């Protein structure tokens, strides 16, 4: 039988982020993005059933029985906090476990761009953090909320499924609500959210039109709203938001989004040069008049990409290749990883080699702090 406490402790000691358990194979850790075996013993069906039984409380067992999958979070005393997804595959139970650090790293420690601090100081608006699964979206939002918590007197309400990072009240008061234990559903909690006197709202993930509309409406009525989407860049994010709504509402949503959007932070994780971790490469959109016009008028959508590339000095905007270039210049990532992570590897390689010196392709090197 697998010693769960030993396995969880081993994951954290190795700097791993995830555990994958499947009947018939050894437990697998994800460390710095790579999958590696843990222990010499394969997981038997009896092991898996026993592990699932130990991890799930009564409520989770009822959900799993009804839906054949369940999400929840839990803590292990003296070890750490974890997010768990238990599901069925080929008739057997499988488990994915994500480690959630107790300590919330700040924006500088995560090598995130300075402009995120400015977004945290805005009194109202919509901030969307995007990326694929495992790209660090929750970590980035946690760092931004903690930045606010340390310097602003605000009432913050989060709706999460499940709760991941645990906040301690500092300057702000933070109410964390978990779907299932504190509220029956996202939709139910969002319905009453604005009656709870929030200054800042964090919606763990936008999953449906109602959630998206509530986030936009809350931002439009004077709140600062943080949320996440599974999209890869700013343009895809805007298109994804619009796709939630039918054609007869498109113009209304375009106008609302243009007014309420503060910024979009898209990210992907790149292995560090020393091989001991990963660092986020980012694309950042900061809303301005040009962006607003491009959101409202579909014929101007191509202006968004150009505005991001040209808006670094004034607004702090940048695209992925500009971000990766900075990470490489700071020595945080290797030449090979820089090329692998670039959106346009051929052009990026030419810029690294100094073959393209035109003004339109020069990169502004900002202040990235290496902690």
Q: d(Cα 124, Cα 127) in Å, to the nearest integer? A: 9
Mean pLDDT of 164-189: 90
Q: For residue 367, is pLDDT > 80?
A: no
Is the separation of the CB atoms in 4 and 91 below 8 Å?
no
Is the separation of the CB atoms in 79 and 5 below 8 Å?
yes
For residue 16, give the DSSP letter.
E
Question: Predicted confidence band at 270 (pLDDT cuts at 50, 70, 90)?
Answer: very high
Is the separation of the CB atoms in 223 and 260 below 8 Å?
no
Q: What is the pTM of this model?
A: 0.87
Cβ neighbours around 347 below 10 Å, total: 14
pLDDT at residue 365 in the model: 32
Degrees (nearest 5) of the Cα angle 72, 43, 58?
30
Which range, of 2-11, 174-183, 184-193, 307-316, averages the lowest pLDDT? 184-193
Mean pLDDT of 12-32: 94
How far separated are the first and last CA of the chain, in Å rounded?
40
Q: For residue 363, is pLDDT > 80?
A: no
Domain 4-100 fold: Beta-Lactamase (3.30.450)
Q: d(Cα 212, Cα 210) in Å, to the nearest integer? A: 5
Q: For residue 359, is pLDDT > 70?
A: no
Q: For residue 357, is pLDDT > 50?
A: no
For residue 247, give the DSSP letter.
G
Question: Predicted confidence band at 287 (pLDDT cuts at 50, 70, 90)?
Answer: very high
Domain 115-361 matching CATH 3.40.50.300: the answer reads yes
The H or E element spanning position 95 is: strand 92-100
More confident residue, 143 or 183: 143
Q: Does 115-361 match 4-100 at the fold level?
A: no
Mean pLDDT of 160-171: 93
Span 235-258, pLDDT tens digits: 999 999 999 999 999 999 999 999
pLDDT at residue 350 in the model: 85
For residue 370, give the DSSP letter.
-
pLDDT at residue 120 in the model: 98
Residue with tokens 């929030």: 198
Q: d(Cα 74, Cα 280) in Å, to the nearest integer? A: 26
How far is residue 100 from each of residues 13, 18, 81, 318, measured CA to CA in Å? 13, 10, 5, 29
pLDDT at residue 256 in the model: 96
Peptide linkage before 243 cis (omega within 30 of 0): no
Q: Where are the domains of the chain?
A: 4-100, 115-361
Question: Predicted confidence band at 275 (pLDDT cuts at 50, 70, 90)?
Answer: confident
Q: 228 in the Ramachandran plot: left (φ > 0), alpha (ψ -120 to 50) or beta?
A: beta
Span 325-346, pLDDT tens digits: 999 999 999 999 999 999 988 8
Cβ neighbours for 25, distance < 8 A, ≥ 6 positions apart: 42, 43
Mean pLDDT of 105-122: 97
Residue 31, classed as helix, strand or coil, is strand
Here the tokens at position 90 are 């080929």
For residue 111, give the DSSP letter.
T
pLDDT at residue 161 in the model: 87
Q: d(Cα 124, Cα 112) in Å, to the nearest integer? A: 21
């Amino acid at each position: 039988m697998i010693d769960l406490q030993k396995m969880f402790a081993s994951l954290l000691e190795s700097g791993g982020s995830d555990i994958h358990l499947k009947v018939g194979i050894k437990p697998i850790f994800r460390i710095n993005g790579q999958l590696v075996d843990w222990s010499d013993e394969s997981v038997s069906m009896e092991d898996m059933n026993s592990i699932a039984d130990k991890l799930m409380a009564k409520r989770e067992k009822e959900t799993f029985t009804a839906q054949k999958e369940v999400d929840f979070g839990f803590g292990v005393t003296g070890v750490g906090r974890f997010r768990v997804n238990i599901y069925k595959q080929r008739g057997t139970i499988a488990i994915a476990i994500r480690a959630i650090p107790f300590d919330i790293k700040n924006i500088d420690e995560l090598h995130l761009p300075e402009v995120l601090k400015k977004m945290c100081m805005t009194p109202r608006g919509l901030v969307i953090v995007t990326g694929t699964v495992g790209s660090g979206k929750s970590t980035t939002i946690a760092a931004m909320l903690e930045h606010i918590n340390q310097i602003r007197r605000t009432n913050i309400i989060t709706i999460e499924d499940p709760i991941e990072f645990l906040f301690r009240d500092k300057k702000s008061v933070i109410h964390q609500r978990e779907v299932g234990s504190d509220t029956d559903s996202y939709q139910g909690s969002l319905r009453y959210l604005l009656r709870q006197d929030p200054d800042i709202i964090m919606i763990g993930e936008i999953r449906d039109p109602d959630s998206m509309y509530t986030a936009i409406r809350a931002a439009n009525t004077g709140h600062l709203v943080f949320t996440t989407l599974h999209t890869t860049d700013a343009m895809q994010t805007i298109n994804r938001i619009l796709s939630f709504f039918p054609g007869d509402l498109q113009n209304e949503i375009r106008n609302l989004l243009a007014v309420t959007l503060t910024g979009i932070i898209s990210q992907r994780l790149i292995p560090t040069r020393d091989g001991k971790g990963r660092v986020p490469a980012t694309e950042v959109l900061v809303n301005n008049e040009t962006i607003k016009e491009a959101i409202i008028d579909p014929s101007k959508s191509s202006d968004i990409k150009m505005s991001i590339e040209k808006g670094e000095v004034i607004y702090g905007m940048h695209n992925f290749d500009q971000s990766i270039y900075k990470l490489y210049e700071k020595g945080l990532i290797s030449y090979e990883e820089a090329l692998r992570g670039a959106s346009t590897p051929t052009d990026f390689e030419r810029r690294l080699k100094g073959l393209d010196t035109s003004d339109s392709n020069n990169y502004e090197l900002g202040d990235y702090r290496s902690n």
